[in-house]
Structure 1
């Protein structure tokens, strides 16, 4: 890695859930509130700000210019932003994202530039538009300091991408204690792959979209009894702070109080490892989360091969499990809206998936259940 400071404070500020003046208008960011959040973060020692071309319909980058760039010297912070090339209609549009981001942010360069949500069928667009060549050229021109990508895909896909693109300086991956050994997300395996390639990691979703802060009572009680003075959120972030090869752990914060609490927990715990008792308590909390009638899918993907409708069966089964673990259907429904590109309702009940399933899961019935719950 060429430019990234390895001493970056571990807590990163994710700018995708900023406070709004009008909850129905994602561009109506409360700038004065955001300024207070930025001030609290920087005063607490934070430096890493993460945004994207598409966050808040583009308003996040402009808000960051007003709240951060116009008010602090350039050396006081690092900025990451992203290009969603797979959603662009052509290469010219995809490549123009960078200049637009630089203009919105009011900077001459970005410290970290990510090809956003690479993986699966989306990777083909990044290849078609020659985005890898483009970001290398922009780095040579000084408009990008570090090239990276974010992805929600498995370890095999990550290994292939890092093998094909040794020029990558960092990757952004989902990691948290709930997904650590999940057969779909494969957090542990993905971080191991990144480390094998010598590529450091930015962690996203450390609190699973807030679900590891609003734990069901059966899991929250275990952690509260183990450490009565610690916040539930601190367990999620501390788990990620202690992971090797990590540059920063992102938190998508929406209020000044959230910033204050996260900064306080980070400064209190840093990357200190869990004690034996704390590790046991976290393991027990994870067991409590899983102590429901979950679907025994191992993500072998045999079911997908012969599905005539291309239904994302393992992903959908995993989302049914996620609802069981977190007891939050609204959150899972939001995840379903983008993870199940071929929805459960596309199932024609042919049974080909069940014939192939080593776990003998009643897949057709489970898909019908998912369609009722999330569509």
Structure 2
């Protein structure tokens, strides 16, 4: 199959979770990880303007750009226009990223997290045209965007902007049939628009490397020698039209494990795909809150509580035992403007419109108890 980036190795190095020592990036270990990665022929590195408060971009200059020929790797970063006060400030982010990385240009340059709530900023600031200008100037060789939203919006964006060369999507076996994440549906939209895909969150923030016992048992019985993370990453990498699968590695050991099965990548067999299906069914069997993120509850909330996000946080803890991830989700909701769940006044507006008939008032009390 012929598509952009088809010759790039299927394992990409995500630079959001670099090793940290006393609140600073461990540059020695980061260099070791870069060296291991490059030695095995993997060449795609993904960072962003805001990762680790900009220190990720600075670290990759030291660990990669200053130590390897520029044409020997691909470097991607992202522009979060929604974090800027003006269009001028947003466009200046590109030059800040170039200065931090010393890269000269970016092989893949992305608008960061184009979603329903943030799309207007990219439109109003003229970022779509700006991306084309950067490509014409050679500062961005390929342009696209990362995405965490519903499939119908993705279809609309790709219809409006056929100049998009690729999309970066959250895809993993746990979210494949999720009504809130819509991994499969978003993937199929990208295929329908003939857009190659970069996959992020293949291990769902790390939780699929340590899943529930019922899931672990399925994988270990199928192949006791394979790491649990390997099943998740190989699932993503086995999909068609995928440029690379980003793994946010934090240790040299994680790098070695990923390279052990991705150096000579072998797509999942039919038997292995059946194992993935059984694991997904085991996950779905774990009790959870049946929220589909339709957001009907949010529209009528007088306290402006972003209810589905807090229910997602509870599910993250219930299904995966990921308390820290649940608390991060909670904090992200507050950062994006939600009121705390403890502000609920039990008016019942949310429960009146919930298609899943969730007892939202009681559930918000659980969310408050979990993280406040």
TM-score class normalised by the smaller sequence: over 0.9
Q: CA deviation at 1:325?
A: 0.9
Provide the residue aligned with 1:272 in structure 2. 267
Corresponding position: 1:206 with 2:181: no
Instruction: Give the alignment partner of residue 356 of structure 2, picking from 334, 356, 359.
Output: 359
Corresponding position: 1:371 with 2:368: yes
Provide the residue aligned with 1:294 in structure 2. 288
Deviates more, 1:320-329 or 1:175-184: 320-329
Provide the residue aligned with 1:283 in structure 2. 277
Provide the residue aligned with 1:14 in structure 2. 14
Instruction: Give the alignment partner of residue 342 of structure 2, picking from 342, 345, 364.
Output: 345
Q: CA deviation at 1:43?
A: 0.6
2-side partners of 1:339 and 1:4: how far apart?
A: 35
Trace 1:43-58 onto structure 2 (pairs within 5 A).
43-58=39-54
Report the 3-state secondary structure (helix = DSSP H, G, I; strand = E; otherwise coil) of the residue aligned with 2:168. strand
Asked whether the equivalents of residues 309 and 329 of structure 2 are also in contact (C-alpha less than 8 Å), the reply is no
Going from structure 1 to structure 2, the CA distance change for 1:50 and 1:308 (only over 3 Å counts) comes to same
2-side partners of 1:20 and 1:292: how far apart?
A: 33
Q: CA deviation at 1:40?
A: 0.2
Asked whether the equivalents of residues 184 and 315 of structure 1 are also in contact (C-alpha less than 8 Å), the reply is no
Going from structure 1 to structure 2, the CA distance change for 1:339 and 1:283 (only over 3 Å counts) comes to farther
Corresponding position: 1:31 with 2:27: yes
2-side partners of 1:312 and 1:332: how far apart?
A: 15
Trace 1:142-221 onto structure 2 (pairs within 5 A).
142-221=138-217
2-side partners of 1:291 and 1:120: how far apart?
A: 31
Deviates more, 1:304-313 or 1:259-268: 304-313
2-side partners of 1:31 and 1:83: how far apart?
A: 24
Q: CA deviation at 1:147?
A: 0.8
Provide the residue aligned with 2:324 in structure 1. 330
Provide the residue aligned with 1:104 in structure 2. 100
Compute the TM-score of the two structures, normalised by the length of structure 2.
0.94
Going from structure 1 to structure 2, the CA distance change for 1:98 and 1:203 (only over 3 Å counts) comes to same
1-side partners of 2:117 and 2:156: how far apart?
A: 14
Deviates more, 1:231-240 or 1:90-99: 90-99
Report the 3-state secondary structure (helix = DSSP H, G, I; strand = E; otherwise coil) of the residue aligned with 2:231. helix
Trace 1:310-325 onto structure 2 (pairs within 5 A).
310-325=304-319
Trace 1:67-146 onto structure 2 (pairs within 5 A).
67-146=63-142
Asked whether the equivalents of residues 341 and 364 of structure 2 are also in contact (C-alpha less than 8 Å), the reply is yes
Report the 3-state secondary structure (helix = DSSP H, G, I; strand = E; otherwise coil) of the residue aligned with 2:355. coil
1-side partners of 2:324 and 2:35: how far apart?
A: 32
Instruction: Give the alignment partner of residue 257 of structure 1, picking from 222, 239, 253.
Output: 253
1-side partners of 2:297 and 2:19: how far apart?
A: 42
1-side partners of 2:273 and 2:3: how far apart?
A: 34
Aligned residues: 368
Per-residue CA deviations over 1:2-51 (Å, capped at 9, x if unaligned) read 994321111000111112231xx2xx222222111111001111010001
* Structure 1 stretches of at least 4 aligned residues deviating more than 6 Å after TM superposition: none
Per-residue CA deviations over 1:138-181 (Å, capped at 9, x if unaligned) read 11111110111112111122112111211111111101011111
1-side partners of 2:226 and 2:305: how far apart?
A: 42
Deviates more, 1:48-57 or 1:354-363: 354-363
Report the 3-state secondary structure (helix = DSSP H, G, I; strand = E; otherwise coil) of the residue aligned with 1:236. helix
Gaps spanning 5+ residues in structure 2: where?
none
2-side partners of 1:299 and 1:80: how far apart?
A: 30
Compute the TM-score of the two structures, normalised by the length of structure 1.
0.93
Q: CA deviation at 1:311?
A: 2.5
- Aligned-residue CA RMSD (Å): 1.8
2-side partners of 1:149 and 1:56: how far apart?
A: 20
